[in-house]
Chain A
Amino acid sequence: GQQVMQIPQYQHVQEGEDFTTYCNSSTTLSNIQWYKQRPGGHPVFLIQLVKSGEVKKQKRLTFQFGEAKKNSSLHITATQTTDVGTYFCAGWNYGQNFVFGPGTRLSVLP
Chain B
Amino acid sequence: AAGVIQSPRHLIKEKRETATLKCYPIPRHDTVYWYQQGPGQDPQFLISFYEKMQSDKGSIPDRFSAQQFSDYHSELNMSSLELGDSALYFCASSLFQGFNEQFFGPGTRLTVL
Contact = CB atoms under 8 A, between A and B. Distances in A.
- The interface centre, meaning the residue of A30, A43, A44, A99 with most chain B CB atoms within 10 A of its CB, is A43
Contacts, number: 47
Given A30-B99, A100-B43, A42 B106 contact: yes
A48 B104 contact: no
A45 B101 contact: yes
A96 B90 contact: no
Contacts of A92: 98-99
Interface of B: 33, 35, 41-45, 48, 56, 58, 90, 92, 98-107
Provide the main secondary structure of the chain B interface: loop
Interface of A: 30-31, 33, 35, 42-45, 48, 50, 88, 92, 96-103
B104 A42 contact: yes
A5 to B, nearest CB: 11
Contacts of B42: 88, 100-103
